Amino acid sequence: MTRRRAALGLAAALTLAGMPGTPIGNAATKNHPTEATTLAAAMTKALGGEASVEATGWLRGQGKLTTRYDFRFARPDRERLLRTGGALNMVKIGGRAVSTVEQISVGMDEFRKIGASGWLRSERATAPAATDALWLNALNQSCCTLASGPAATTVRLLGSAKYGGKPVYQLRFRSISSGGILKTTVLVSKKSFLPLAYTTMAFPALGTSYMQLRYNGHFTITSPHS
């Protein structure tokens, strides 16, 4: 499937997603989950069980600047995120545009490289996980983990559609935190319950992102200091 066909497939699905959905997610309780919350839990479980995940796409922020994303996760506890272009071209270090930011995590160790600078090491709050593929948005926070309290997240089932010729569920998540609001539409495979693509709008006016996900890839992620 080409990227053009994938984008068209998502656009068609999101056209359907714009239609009124049944707000069944908000009425869920711990003992009586709705269909939407049940599907969201199945999606999280399926994604969390994957040995390798790739997510590629873009984030379009203010000024219509587009940053490209390339994310990879591989067991055990390793991930890499490369961001290229867009707003990064506006940032300069030593008179040179940054252009790229690369992050590599191995266990609780995170290494970050900004432009042509050297690697900086820090410690993560949590170990890398396959579900980090759902954090690729303007707020850098999970769009689709159901929660209550200060970081409340709710979900609705918008209906069914086809994406790349495959039947999918359309789940609409709304997440509120101190950083802002995320509205995310996820296309979930009816066969595997894995997320295949998602689009996220961040408010206030921080940007829109679109990601495609792939599974069972073969790649290696190594520490820059190995």
pLDDT digit string (tens) for 27-65? 333 444 689 999 999 999 999 999 999 999 999 987 788
What order do you get walking across the sheet with 166-177 strand by strand? 120-123, 109-114, 100-106, 78-84, 66-74, 52-60, 207-215, 195-203, 180-189, 166-177, 153-163
For range 93-98, the mean pLDDT: 74
Higher pLDDT, residue 30 or 19 = 30
Q: Over 187-212, what HEC string results? A: EEECCCCCEEEEEEEEECCCEEEEEE
pLDDT tens per residue across span 55-92: 999 999 877 889 999 999 999 999 999 999 887 777 77
- The pLDDT value recorded for residue 150 is 54
- The pLDDT value recorded for residue 9 is 45
- The pLDDT value recorded for residue 147 is 64
- The pLDDT value recorded for residue 55 is 98
First to last CA, the chain: 36
What CATH fold (topology level) applies to the domain 3-215?
Answer: outer membrane lipoprotein receptor (LolB), chain A (2.50.20)
- The pLDDT value recorded for residue 33 is 61
Q: Over 56-110, what HEC string results? A: EEEEECHHHCEEEEEEEEECCCEEEEEEECHHHHHCEECCEECCEEEEEEECCEE
Domain boundaries, the chain: 3-215
For range 118-122, the mean pLDDT: 93
For range 124-147, the mean pLDDT: 91
pLDDT tens per residue across span 175-219: 988 889 999 999 999 999 999 999 999 998 789 999 999 999 999
Give the percent of the chain with pLDDT over 70: 83
- The pLDDT value recorded for residue 16 is 36
- The pLDDT value recorded for residue 19 is 32
* 120: helix, strand or coil: strand
Quote the mean pLDDT of the chain: 84
